[in-house]
Amino acid sequence: MTSGRLVEYEGGGDETRSNPWLAELQQQMFVEINPADANNAGVKHGEQVWVEGPEGGKIKVMAFVTNRVGRGLVFMPFHFAGHYQGKDLRNKYPEGCDPYILGESCNTVFTYGYDSVTAMQETKVSLCRLQKA
């Protein structure tokens, strides 16, 4: 699996997901899955899917079935937070301060691994398992 950015949000996304104009444009955390992989996992576009990482983390997100990713690769944006392993944490924010859009963080499943010189984390390649939720 790999991760990246969306034009509507920035970084961890707390600020941009709290902006109504941007929130309206991108309302759901998702995982891009190649049609072949989706078919093998029995998952259809728009359905919920569990993405499980090799170190025990798992997240429940919407399947975005697309050829943007090749077979054997899934992509997730990293701007979302506020859901944790299937649980919505909205009621834990101070009143009136919860971002409009919440979602699972892909880094709940991304794993250990650091650059040998600078301790950069390895977020552009790891492994996962998909299961229909």
Partner 1 sequence: MKLIKRSTSPSAAHQKNLNRREFIKHSGLAVGASALASQLPFTMMEKAQAQATQLTNTPEIATIKSVCTHCSVGCGVIAEVQNGVWIGQEPAFDHPINLGAHCAKGASVREHGHGDRRLKYPMKQINGQWKRITWQQAIDEIGDKMLEIRQQSGPDSVYWLGSSKHNNEQSYLFRKFAAFWGSNNIDHQARICHSTTVAGVANTWGYGAMTNSFNDIHNSKAILIIGGNPAEAHPVSMQHIFKAKEQGAPLIVIDPRLTRTAAHASQHIRLRPGTDVPLILGMLWHIFENHWEDKEFIRQRVYGMDKVRKEVAQWTPDKVEQVTGVSENELYQAAKTMATHKPGTFIWCMGGTQHTIGNNNTRAYCIFQLALGNMGVAGGGTNIFRGHDNVQGATDLGPNAHTLPGYYGLAEGAWKHWATVWDIDFQWLSGRFDKALYDDGTGANKRTMNMSGIPVSRWIDGILEEKQNISQQDNIRAMVLWGHAPNSQTRAPEMKKAMEKLDLLVVVDPYPSNSAVLHDRTENTYLLPASTQFETYGSLTSSNRSLQWRDQVIEPLFESRPDHQILYQFAEKLGFADQMFKHIQVKNSVPLIEDITKEINKGTWTIGYTGQTYERLKKQQQNWHTFNTTTLIAEGGPCDGEYFGLPWPCWGTSEQQHPGTPILYDTTKPVAQGGLTFRARFGVERDGVSLLAEDSYSKDSEIKQGYPEFSADLLKQLGWWNELTDKEKQLAEGKNWKTDLSGGIQRVAIKHGCAPFGNAKARCIVWQFPDPVPVHREPLYSNRRDMVNKYTVYGQKYLTTFIIIDLHSVCYRMSKVHFSA
Which residue ranges make up the site for partner 1 (CB under 8 A)?
A: 2, 4-16, 18-22, 25, 32, 54-57, 67-70, 72-73, 75, 78, 80-82, 84-85, 89, 92-100, 105, 107-108, 110-127
Cβ proximity to partner 1: between 12 and 133 the closer is 12
- Smaller CB separation from partner 1, 17 or 49: 17
Q: How far is the CB of 112 from partner 1 (least distance, A)?
A: 6
Cβ of residue 128: shortest distance to partner 1, in angstroms?
9
Secondary structure of residue 50 in the 3-state scheme: strand
Distance CA 73, CA 130 (A): 11
How do beta strands 87-88 and 103-104 pair? Answer: unpaired
Specify whether the CB–CB gap between 123 and 115 falls below 8 A: no
Separation CA 132–CA 62 (nearest Å): 10
Least spacing, CB of residue 51 vs partner 1, in Å: 13
Nearer to partner 1, 84 or 133 (CB): 84
Question: How far is residue 2's CA from residue 7's CA, in Å, rounded to a whole number?
Answer: 17
Asked if residue 133 lies in contact with residue 58, where contact means CB atoms within 8 angstroms, the answer is: no
CB of 48 to partner 1, least distance (A): 19
User: In this complex, which beta carbon is closest to partner 1, that of residue 30 or of residue 80?
Assistant: 80
